[in-house]
Amino acid sequence: MGKKYGKVEFEKKTTQPALEDWIKPLYGAVMNYYKYVIVVDTDQYGNFTTAVYEMTNERTVATEFEQSVPYLYLVAEAERFFDDNGHAVKWGIEAVDLMSSKIKKAS
């Protein structure tokens, strides 16, 4: 029998605190990288995947108990799974670097 794969549904618009609450403890990670946030999580079978969000100037409304935080928009999502979270993070960093180099060339 082959390895099983599930589906991880990344939100299109979210915040960093919401991502930190959403990922699975011990296996997931939320990391800032320049103006991006790289998110690693697992499916229900323990396969690692990753997505990249871009920080925006749009912010949440501050409340008495929470400060205002920027909204994040999904800009890249891995279309495959990884054996470990290190390789998933590497994919996210490479995706950001690729997007950044395309932006610099267009300027």
All structural domains of the chain with their residue ranges? 13-106
Whole-structure pTM over 0.75, yes or no? yes
User: 13-72 pLDDT, tens per residue?
Assistant: 999 999 999 998 888 999 999 999 999 999 999 999 999 999 999 998 887 777 889 999
C-alpha distances (whole Å) from 4 to each of 1, 7, 31, 49, 75 are: 9, 10, 27, 14, 26
Residue 11: CB atoms within 10 A of its CB come to 15
